[in-house]
Amino acid sequence: MQRRALMKAAMIAMSMTALQTTTALAENPVLKIGFVGVTSGPAASWGISNQRSMETRAAWINETGGYKIGDTTYDIEIVSFDDQKDPKRAIAGMEKMAQEGIHYVVGPNVDDGAAAVRPVAEANGIMYFPYAFPKSLYTKPASNAILGMVANYQSGPAIYKYLMKEKGVKTVAFIAANESDPLSQRDSGVAAAKALGLDVVSDNVTYQVDTTDFTPVLTPIMRERPDLLVLSGVSPANAPQLIRSARELGFQGVISTETAQDAGVLTEGAGDLANGFISVGGASTPELASPMMIEFVDRYTKMFGEYNDESNTKVYALEYILETLKADPAAITDVTAFQTTMDRFEAPNPYMKGDAKLRYVGMSSFGQRRQVAVPLVVNVFQDGAFETLFVAEVD
Amino acid sequence: MENITKRQLFNVGLFLFSIFIAVPLIISATGRWDFYFTLTSVALLAIASAGVWLTFYIGRINIGQGAFALIGAYVSAILVVKGGISFWISLPAAGIFAAIVAIFIGMLVLRLRGVYFAMITLVLTQVVTLTALALPITNGAKGISSIPLPSGVSLFGIPILPDFATMANTKLAFYYTACILMVLTYAALYRLVNSRLGHLCRSMQQNEELASSIGVNIAHIRIVIFAISSFFGGIGGAMFGSIAQSVYPSSFQVADSVNFMLNCFLGGLGYVFGPMLGTLVLYFGWDLLFELGKYQMLVYSIILIAVIRFLPNGLLSLQFGKGARK
Amino acid sequence: MEQILANGVYLGSQYAMIALGLTLIFALMNVLNFAHGQMYVIGGFVTYTFYGQLGVPFVLALLMSCISLAILGALIEKFLFAPVIKGSKREESTMLLAAGIAFLLDALILLIFGEKQRGVPKIIDGVFNWDFRVIMPYDRILICVLAILSIICFICFMQYSKTGRALRALAQDRTAAQLMGVNVDRYSMIGFALGAMLAGLVGGLLVTITGINLGMGGPTSIKAFMMVMIGGAGVISGAIAGGIILGFMEAIGLAVLSQYGDITYLLIFVSLMIFLAIRPQGLMGKPWG
Amino acid sequence: MSPLLQVKNVTKRYGGLTANNNISFDVAENEILSVIGPNGAGKSTLFKMISSFVPTTSGEVLYRGERISNNKPHIVARKGIVRTFQETTIFKSMTVRESVIVAQHLRAKASLAGYFWGSRAAKADVAAFGQYADELLEFLGMSEISSELASNLPQGNLRALGIAIGLATDPKVLLLDEPFAGMNHDETMRMVDLVRSVRDERGVTVLLVEHDMPAVMTISDRILVLNFGEKIAEGTPSEIQNNDKVIEAYLGSSDDEIGM
């Protein structure tokens, strides 16, 4: 009887698998774009916002008749793999993408995953767009990774410079989670701040990712009374709590981070205390958002019930892939064609008002064009929403 | 215990045939090349899980194998990248280093039992991760990346092992390497369990007091077993580092330690080959459920719960029936 | 110094509550409940949904957390743990089940409550500031007091109620309790439900301060294990002591060791390991085979 | 001739509690010596100190003039002093024969590595172990149950298994912890014969802790009586039976039959 029950469970699982694979039949040929990232567990929100923006965009394209590359109109299918933030799984995910014949993958979301998939991606001719900052991923001899956002060592200096000029910030303190990504970001942030002549009063306070109370963590920093507190690589879950604790401890200065945040999360977690919090965002603030961006947010909200502001920075990777393919249809199966196209590619940025361009940058940081040019939009949180503080360009 | 029956011999032959010949054939026939990596992972994780199983065999719940896998991965990476040593030398070195660390830690913690031991090994995983983050030699948070592929080995001018970097298909090479290591590990494990050391382990697992009353130096055997267990962990970790060509403090973490333990439970603590099957089902199962998208985790966990609910003594208890075998 | 003390009391009280539920379940059934942290998270989300989203009064929302977790715990015990414990040759096998349940709850949390960090409006505004020597927001003080009250209630319940006494008898010696006429199956279920309820209660309380997200489950479990180990597994006083000690260790450790920067936590963990190696059964526990 | 085992001024305290106070006695080779006493007299603790399962607070135990107390149990076992257990301390999921084979650990000639590689010495050992196990089980009259799982054995057989495990180590001195507890008269008499034959045919010196007075009187060459951690008498069974102190001690606590 037990065996039968087990069999039954297995059967159900298998039939569910079968059901899932019968995706919508479309007349257009399908172009598959991959996503390898974390969509379960503690860091799920990073990957999920990523995956959902891709799915939203794909559904939108398919609904409006597909995407024309060369002479063919394609339906876009997003193939997602949950790597559970484990580099070993990320490799498996990249292998799976190769298996599916996919050449363009968004992700992984973290440093170790991005480094681990490199051999697979390069061996199988896959261009991938990690949200990880180590320069070794993008500088030669690495060839297939394209940084999908603005790195903190690019946005950090811009923010510090602005704050030095506008707010007279002179001293700065850094705090980071005791994990690879935030620590690396802190180190490069510290270097940038020092280069700008800021006085770094504290740079070695760290917290465990599972911290629930940040008061003891922040207390030693507060004694230094810095003008600026930088939350290096802070996860959206921790940011409101850090802000709240710092403010409750009587911190008066500016708090900033170089990662993307969600306004809703900040409102719920810190409320008014988060006013004045500076973070890097995409182009969804009313001052910048194009009609297309607004529609994107709309569709996303309809599809998943709630928008996530982290997606503002994550809307771009898929657009870049498609636009570049459009510019050179041969690149659909040939990544070397893609790589050569990257050097001269340019298209209008549909998500932003004005004449911003989509193009590949990174010459000054990586010595080759291995970064998407997204506008460096620095936002400030005010009463439940983000306002644009300033916009800068990355080269 | 000395006489291997014909049936066993046949089973072993069948097993070797399937992993070395049938699997590659099936993969090339179906074109599912991505399974190579998954199966390679299974083989390597099964090696580490074998170590955990061995500590279970002396009655200790070990949630610290991730620590030793990470140590192994770092030792190998550091030797290869900073020392310029061949990977094939760094591999056993990684295992031995992990074993030495295990001896020191074991002397301190092995008298703990039950959940206390489980807990302290869990903390150990965190300690090693944090140490890797803090030490300069491990490159801290930045990890070690761009590790070269295993180089060729030749003895007296005769090539024994090919240079992986020049290979067109490293997947297959890694698959074979991992499988060979796994077969060696389990052969050793089987021998060990069925030799006197294994019998002594069993006696300790069942009653440490009685074991010491018949003259078994339990403290000594515990350390030996823990060292062997960690050796396996180190080997598995080092090999993984070489495939990923990078090692980060997060390459093996608490979740991995827990998974190693779960592999053993799932396969069945009473069976030498339990951890291998457990690893295959747990790791491969996740991959197979990939199509389910956001329900992947849900279905995966439900199946896991169903298995343990109906087969509480592990998957292999199905084959042997209740109470059969040791 | 006063600040460290205050932080320690606050952290210790909430930790102790988390550890209590875990240790109760452990004492009763020798199950190391890996899913404890997930239960805590569910408790937080339930309170969030009722208080934060639907506008139900906080106390009622808290009650909903308790009830839903108690029911969940009872079901899990009855249909999963009890049969597995009966059928399994080695009682550690329940660890696999517990881990499976942790995965399942994680998946359910993600599907039902989403991936985002959630928080609720502050229940009381304002910060208590004693001349910058002790700074403590009022809501924290309230939660701390509530946590301490709950712990006292729980202890009284275990000491004086009939159920509590039966549970303690069960924890001490299963067979003896059975001989004394305690309905072992029933009380195991009640005990598990109670343990889960405690997790839900803390989740509900803390959502007002730290918010909640699905990632908090696993780490919370691990932290709870540590507290239980420090105090001694399966002993209620031990769990409370362990919680308070870990709370103070973090508060003091972070203050004293902050100059060592990145290795603060390394030092905390290493000292924990050394402590356990020297005192294997924790502060108050009995060695467990 | 010096005695085989000498217990010299041994004291054990647990916190403020004195379990054994300044106890001394000798055991001669090939003797059966019983330690008796009412519940809580400290008999078990004495046994644990002799077998080094617990350290002494003061005093020492000598074996052939060599100190064996405050040592590791396995080292004491190696010297030939082996204890059995009061409770049902057995290898639950091994068969009787397997248990006896494992217990021959000390007789092994090959190294552990030798067993792993299957060296000649190891193979010889394995054969010898099996042979000796069969022999021993035959001797103990346990041949029919040799392939039973230990956890399935009835209580009487469990004690015999305990003795078999102890004997398998080739001991010089066997410490039996309440070998007759919970047995009926017939079983007890069979066990008495068995213990005797162990001494007579295998030259093993036997030290036992027991409650069962008639059995002790039949089996022992000499008896040692403890009360409240103190030695109150020592002598032949007939001497003990007529000792006033002993009678008083037992009358004072006549109601307890089972216990430490």
Domain boundaries along the sequence of chain C: 2-216
- The verdict on a CB contact (< 8 Å) between D165 and B215 is no
- The verdict on a CB contact (< 8 Å) between A179 and B297 is no
Q: A344 pLDDT exceeds 70?
A: yes
Dump the DSSP string for A46-114: HHHHHHHHHHHHHHHHHHTT-EEETTEEEEEEEEEEE-TT-HHHHHHHHHHHHHTT--EEE---SHHHH
Percent of chain A with pLDDT over 90: 36
> Which residues are CB-contacts of D224 (< 8 A; sequence separation ≥ 6)?
D25, D33, D34, D35, D36, D231, D233, D234
pLDDT band at A14 (very low <50, low <70, confident <90, very high): low
Residue type, C198: L
Q: What is the pLDDT of residue A178?
A: 87
Domain extent at residue B295: 32-152+164-320
Among B123, B127, B301, beta carbon nearest to C100: B301
- Count of helix runs (H) and strand runs (E) in chain C: 12, 2
- The verdict on a CB contact (< 8 Å) between A220 and C258 is yes
Joined together, the tokens standing for residue B161 give 């092992």
Peptide bond into A108 cis (omega under 30): yes
> Which residues are CB-contacts of A355 (< 8 A; sequence separation ≥ 6)?
A348
- Indicate contact of B with C: 3+ CB pairs under 8 A: yes
Contacts of C262 in chain A (CB under 8 A): 178, 183, 204, 206
- The verdict on a CB contact (< 8 Å) between B305 and C89 is no
Average pLDDT of chain C to the nearest whole number: 86
Tokens 């389910």 correspond to B292
Rg (chain C; Cα; Å) = 19
Which chain B residue has the Cα nearest residue C23? B115
Q: What is the pLDDT of residue B326?
A: 35
Q: A285 pLDDT exceeds 80?
A: no
Q: How far apart are CA C117 and CA D138, in angstroms?
A: 71
Find the helix or strand (DSSP H, E) in which C256 lies.
helix C236-257
Q: D249 pLDDT exceeds 80?
A: no
Q: What is the pLDDT of residue D254?
A: 46
Percent of chain A with pLDDT over 70: 92
CB D179 within 8 A of CB D207: no
Q: What is the pLDDT of residue B189?
A: 94
Enumerate domains of chain A plus CATH numbers: 27-149+290-374 (3.40.50.2300), 152-259 (3.40.50.2300)
CB A135 within 8 A of CB A157: no
The order of strands in the sheet holding A254-257 is A199-207, A171-177, A228-232, A254-257, A278-281, A376-382, A385-392
Q: C99 pLDDT exceeds 60?
A: yes
Which chains have 3+ CB pairs within 8 A of D? B
Contacts of D126 in chain B (CB under 8 A): 1-2
Please count the residue pairs, one from chain A and one from chain C, whose beta carbons lie less than 8 angstroms apart.
120
Joined together, the tokens standing for residue B298 give 């849900």
Which chain C residue has the Cα nearest residue B255? C218
Distance from CA of B191 to the nearest CA of D (A): 6
| CA-to-CA separations, C37 to A29, A44, A210, C98, C108, in angstroms, rounded | 46, 17, 11, 11, 14
- If one counts every other C-beta atom within 10 angstroms of the C-beta of residue A105, the result is 30
Q: How far apart are CA B116 and CA D82, in angstroms?
A: 30
Tokens 């039968």 correspond to A4
Q: How far apart are CA A239 and CA A45, in angstroms?
A: 13
> Which residues are CB-contacts of C227 (< 8 A; sequence separation ≥ 6)?
C15, C16, C18, C19, C239, C242, C243, C245, C246
Q: What is the pLDDT of residue A126?
A: 93
- The verdict on a CB contact (< 8 Å) between A42 and C216 is yes
Q: How far apart are CA A174 and CA A221, in angstroms?
A: 9
Q: How far apart are CA A299 and CA A301, in angstroms?
A: 5
Q: A24 pLDDT exceeds 50?
A: no
Joined together, the tokens standing for residue C257 give 């060791």
Q: What is the pLDDT of residue B321?
A: 42
pLDDT band at A7 (very low <50, low <70, confident <90, very high): low
Distance from CA of A282 to the nearest CA of C (A): 18
A183 touching B (Cβ < 8 Å) = yes
Distance from CA of C156 to the nearest CA of B (A): 28
> Which residues are CB-contacts of A89 (< 8 A; sequence separation ≥ 6)?
A81, A82, A83, B286
Q: How far apart are CA A311 and CA D148, in angstroms?
A: 67
Which chain B residue has the Cα nearest residue C264? B130
> Which residues are CB-contacts of A87 (< 8 A; sequence separation ≥ 6)?
A112, A113, A115, A116, A117, B244, B246, B248, B250, B251
Lowest mean pLDDT among B61-75, D95-109, D245-259: D245-259
B261 touching C (Cβ < 8 Å) = yes
Q: What is the pLDDT of residue D194?
A: 87
Joined together, the tokens standing for residue A146 give 């394209």
- The verdict on a CB contact (< 8 Å) between C277 and B305 is no
Q: A5 pLDDT exceeds 80?
A: no
Q: Cα angle vertex A48, ends A284, A245, to 5°?
A: 75
Report residue D243 CA to chain centroid gap: 26
Q: What is the pLDDT of residue A260?
A: 82
pLDDT band at C229 (very low <50, low <70, confident <90, very high): confident
Contacts of C95 in chain B (CB under 8 A): 61, 261-262, 265
Contacts of B307 in chain A (CB under 8 A): 6
Distance from CA of B156 to the nearest CA of C (A): 47
Query: Chain A residues within 8 A (CB-CB) of chain C?
Result: 39-45, 48-49, 178, 183, 203-206, 208-210, 212-213, 215-217, 219-220, 236-237, 240-241, 248-250, 262, 264-265, 268-271, 305-306, 308
Dump the DSSP string for B282-314: IIIHHHHGGGGGGGHHHHHHHHHHHHHHH-TT-
Residue type, C75: L
- Indicate contact of D with A: 3+ CB pairs under 8 A: no
User: Does residue B11 belong to any structural domain of this protein?
Assistant: no
Contacts of C229 in chain B (CB under 8 A): 115-116, 119-120
Among B2, B192, B213, beta carbon nearest to D73: B213
* Chain C interface, best mutation among B222, B295, B309, B325, by max C CB count within 10 A: B309
Q: D35 pLDDT exceeds 50?
A: yes
State pLDDT tens for residues A223-244: 888 999 999 988 888 898 899 8
State pLDDT tens for residues C167-206: 888 888 888 888 888 888 899 999 999 999 999 999 999 9
Q: B323 pLDDT exceeds 80?
A: no
Q: B109 pLDDT exceeds 70?
A: yes
Contacts of C265 in chain A (CB under 8 A): 178, 206, 208
Q: How far apart are CA A299 and CA A83, in angstroms?
A: 26
- If one counts every other C-beta atom within 10 angstroms of the C-beta of residue D17, the result is 9
Joined together, the tokens standing for residue A311 give 């997606």
Contacts of D112 in chain B (CB under 8 A): 195-197, 224
Report residue D166 CA to chain centroid gap: 8
State pLDDT tens for residues B239-286: 999 988 899 998 998 889 999 999 998 888 888 899 999 999 988 888
> Which residues are CB-contacts of C287 (< 8 A; sequence separation ≥ 6)?
B113, B114, B116, C280, C281
Instruction: List the domain boundaries for chain D.
Output: 1-80+171-260, 90-160
Q: How far apart are CA D122 and CA B54, in angstroms?
A: 22
Q: What is the pLDDT of residue A11?
A: 56
- The verdict on a CB contact (< 8 Å) between A44 and C223 is no
Listed by number, the residues of chain A in 38-97 with a beta carbon closer than 8 Å to a beta carbon of chain B are 39-40, 80-82, 84-89, 91-92, 95-96
Backbone phi and psi for residue B21, each to the nearest 5 degrees, phi listed first: -120, -50
Among B191, B197, B215, beta carbon nearest to D106: B215
Distance from CA of D84 to the nearest CA of B (A): 8
CB B309 within 8 A of CB B299: no
- If one counts every other C-beta atom within 10 angstroms of the C-beta of residue C67, the result is 13
Q: How far apart are CA C49 and CA C118, in angstroms?
A: 10
ipTM of model: 0.87
pLDDT band at A13 (very low <50, low <70, confident <90, very high): low
Tell which residue, D141, D158, D53, has the closest CA to residue D99. Answer: D158
Tell which residue, A176, A166, A178, A181, has the closest CA to residue A202. Answer: A176
Joined together, the tokens standing for residue D204 give 């093993």
Q: What is the pLDDT of residue B1?
A: 43
Residue type, A253: G
Residue type, C32: L
Tokens 């799976």 correspond to A96
Residue D143 buriedness (CB in 10 A; 0-12 / 13-18 / 19+): middle
Dump the DSSP string for D223-245: EEEEETTEEEEEE-HHHHHT-HH
Q: Cα angle vertex C90, ends C86, C95, to 5°?
A: 90
Q: How far apart are CA D193 and CA D219, in angstroms?
A: 8
- The verdict on a CB contact (< 8 Å) between B251 and A112 is yes
Its pTM stands at: 0.89
Architecture in CATH of D1-80+171-260: 3-Layer(aba) Sandwich (3.40)
Q: How far apart are CA C41 and CA C200, in angstroms?
A: 7
- The verdict on a CB contact (< 8 Å) between C95 and B265 is yes
Number of domains in chain B: 1
pLDDT band at C92 (very low <50, low <70, confident <90, very high): confident
Q: How far apart are CA A356 and CA A347, in angstroms?
A: 9
> Which residues are CB-contacts of A14 (< 8 A; sequence separation ≥ 6)?
none
Distance from CA of A99 to the nearest CA of B (A): 6
- If one counts every other C-beta atom within 10 angstroms of the C-beta of residue A136, the result is 19
Find the helix or strand (DSSP H, E) in which D25 lies.
strand D17-27
Which letter does DSSP use for residue A133 in this model?
-
What mean pLDDT do residues D205-224 have?
88
What is the three-state SS of C57-122? CHHHHHHHHHHHHHHHHHHHHHHHHHHHHHHCCCHHHHHHHHHHHHHHHHHHHHHHHCCCCECCCC
- The verdict on a CB contact (< 8 Å) between C261 and A205 is yes
Q: How far apart are CA A255 and CA A246, in angstroms?
A: 9
Helix (H, G, I), strand (E, B) or coil at B93: helix
What mean pLDDT do residues A201-217 have?
85
Query: Chain D residues within 8 A (CB-CB) of chain B?
Result: 51, 53, 72-74, 77-78, 82-85, 89-94, 98, 101-103, 105-106, 108, 110, 112, 115-116, 118, 122-123, 125-126, 165-166, 168-169
Among C117, C209, C218, beta carbon nearest to A265: C117
State pLDDT tens for residues B162-185: 788 777 778 888 999 999 999 999
